[in-house]
Structure 1
Amino acid sequence: MKNKIDSFFRPNNEQNDKENKDKKPSKKIGYLIILGLTGLLLLFISNMFSSSEEPEISQEPPSDQSEPTGGEEEMAGTDISELEQELSGQLATMLNKIQGVNDAEVMVNLDATSEQIYEKNQTRGQQTTDETDQNGGSRVVEDQTEESQVVLFRSGDQEIPLLVQTKQPEVRGVFVVAKGAETPSLKNQVIEAVSRVLDVPTHKISVMPKN
């Protein structure tokens, strides 16, 4: 009877031992998978940090960003030259319409730079002081102060003055040659017309007869 009982339970024990042997390799495989995933995660994190640090170097602004270039200066000179030609052509067209004046040519000479006007904060103060001298006399002393400061506004990392108006360059002189300018009355008419149109004093205008 005992042998039967032992034989009945023995196969189960052998089966359990076999199952335990089968489970051991599966646990090792699970550990290997976990280690592999951990390594991939660490590699991904290191790549992410290295890629996030690279743009900081490329975002540094150049040191000469605010310095004017030679191209900008050349462009400003070109604008002045174009304005001179435009004014000269308009004046010549107008003067040729004056009775007795024919074949007029005009040359207008402007200042090289225009005037820029910036917004300013002005502060005015007044202080009154009563003074008494040794003889008993008194006097009132008034002290007035006035300060102005250019208004600045922020653009990125820079503070830029607030530009209100840009005045066109002033006229340095006007030279006119025209047929009919040998007549004093016509010459005076030409000078007066140029002076009024350009708002320039007459001593800056030269009118000569044309051959």
Structure 2
Amino acid sequence: MNWLKQPKDKLLAVLAVALLLGVTLMMADERPQGAGIWPGKETAPASSTPAVDVAKTGRGAELASQERLLSDRVSNAVSKIEGVGATEVVVSLAQGTRSEYATNNNANNKKIEEKDKSGGTRVTSDSTDSRTVVVVKESSAAKEQPVVVREMRYEIAGVLVVAEGAKDAAVRQNISRAVCTLLDIPAHKVSVFPREEKR
């Protein structure tokens, strides 16, 4: 219980970290994000399934790289807002890029009706459904690539901003609004806290 008696700033830092961890764990839905300041287009590796999550192939390194890139971009933009000094931004991603591939779907339904000698009828139905991924051959490399129908961008779990000047409510609101606009996310995914003043 001694930590409750510590200065207010340390308590706020502990609460900020707990809030970010909570937001990260709670956000697991699969809604694609809009196009804010997203980095360049990336595609998932070739696969035989219609939708493949990049998470299966090196998710940790790729997500960490994208989190750093987005954090740097947001920090750079936020630090230019009037009344804001030095900033630190942490962007936490809930999921990686997912690609949906074009498929050829073949469905066959057979219905066989048989009558026996006593007048009874037996109906047998057989249905098959098969899907194959559509691929195109690159002429230069003689390599096949799947046709991407739709690419779902990274989903952001939460953003933590620690900034000088964020003690002012108007500055805090401007920071939150800027982050929401840049990343195309709702306000409840953004937490803004004042930066600890060096003494």
TM-score w.r.t. the length of structure 2 is 0.49
| Larger Cα-atom Rg | 1
Greater helix proportion: 1
Q: Which has the higher contact order (CA 8 A, sep 6+)?
A: 2
